Amino acid sequence: MKHLPLFFDLAGRKVVVIGEGPKADLRVRLALSAGANVRQFAAGSVTPEDLEGAVAAFVATTDETTDAAARHLAKAAGVPVNVVDRPALCDFIMPAIVDRDGVVVAISTGGASPTLASVLRSRIEAVLPERIGSLARLATTFRAQVNALIGDPARRRAFFRRLVEGPASRLALAGDEAGARRIILGELDAARRQTASAGIAHIVGAGPGDPDLLTLKAAQLLQEADAILHDDLVPPAVLGRARRDAEIVSVGKRKGRPSWSQPDIDVELVRRVRAGQTVVRLKAGDPFVFGRGGEEVDALRAAGLAYTIVPGITAALGCAASTGIPLTHRHHASAVTFVSGHSAVGSRPVAWPALAAHGHTLAIYMGATEAPSVRDRLLEAGADPATPVAVIENGTRADQIVSTGRLADLARLAAAHVRGGGPSLIIVGDVAAYAVAVEPAPLAKVS
């Protein structure tokens, strides 16, 4: 290791910046962000007296001779110095920095490749949660209580590990600091009584099928889950992103097939969270768009259990994008409605006349088997039989199939997709004409 990484407390201390321009200004901002008392001087105006009492100096004049002279002045005053872009002249170097509200990650290549350090910083920024600083503050807040209550070092470490990886951390990262505090207080009480703590449920959208369309948060939670309760429409490629030792449980509901009822799923979800598990309830698309996520949240709330909600790319957005259909278009559609092809008992009836209006895009979920009824209701409501339609099966996936035509032909178009068995979405409206039809790949000939 060429350089020892240190985090230097500059609060209230004098830091000198010699030079002007963007690179010098960046050093001024960095030192100020750390609470330093910053003095900036032009290259030729700094004196030995200006450096008295300084704990660090930055030199950024852009001229090699001037940089060397300024470094000599700082060294004579006994001040550690960093010369921008000249590692051979530096007592210390500046790393690439990721700052998340007090949680700081520094990346250095010892001056060998600032570009590599910058690339690594970008990758870390992409995976580090935005609110990680609030989690650090929670750990600080409860440190004294935990140390006083849990004397055994191993149990104390386990408690803090759960604090930063368990239910409280997920609530804090979701912005619910009050909920996180309640969880920690409950776990402290459980530690005092030496009882098991409850877990947490994450209601997660898996997106339309392409695993690369998972959100970062969804991907992180799949790696943390003890158990994953997934819909039948979640493909194996998405489940393959789960932690290898996670318990994978299919709780899918498919029309005309034996399946879990919603009350059974609610009971199983509550049971597992009460037992202390971190459970991901993984739903195709978005959990709050025809995903019954609201019903499961109701069950968790009624049980007094912690949960978070992670949205996903819903099928209408994913399928439209993968087929080139703009759901709204300045010249063709000023509104879009998501509607279910079949409704739950007791739900409000669909206002088909309003949906049949010109300039309105319909994204119809679970509509392939109901296509004749959907067609008839739209035509009865006044829709033009020549209105473009697209039926998209396995949208965003490698085996995506798209059929295009007119509203009058919707039943015939959808019939092939019912036989295919994959999840299908119907788009009705002038914008559907933008879709590119994709036929199923031909079967390989067997000689």
The amino acid at 281: R
Q: Give the position of tokens 């000939």.
A: 445
Closest among 75, 77, 76, 71 to 89, alpha carbons compared = 71
Place of tokens 């912690």: 306
Asked whether the beta carbons of 315 and 393 are under 8 A apart, the reply is no
Contacts of 58 (CB under 8 A, 6+ apart): 15, 16, 17, 18, 19, 24, 27, 31, 81, 82, 83, 84
Decide if 190 contacts 295 (C-beta within 8 A). no
As a whole number of angstroms, the distance between CA 212 and CA 44 comes to 54
Nearest CA-CA partner of 207 in 216, 198, 199? 216
Nearest residue to 136 (alpha-carbon basis) of 107, 106, 160, 155: 160
Pick from 133, 216, 212: nearest CA to 173: 133
Q: Alpha helices of 107-165 — where are they, by DSSP H?
A: 114-127, 132-149, 153-165
* Rounded CA separation 83/86 (Å): 6
CA-nearest of 317, 278, 270, 333 to 298 is: 270
Q: Which amino acid is at 304?
A: G
Cα diameter, the chain: 91
**Facing residues of 363 across strands?**
338, 427
Alpha helices in 202-328 (DSSP H): 216-224, 236-239, 262-274, 293-302, 315-323
How far lies 368's CA from each of 155, 377, 414, in Å? 55, 14, 5
Q: How far apart are CA 220 and CA 208, in angstroms?
A: 18
Three-class SS of residue 73? helix
Which residue numbers are catalytic? 231, 253
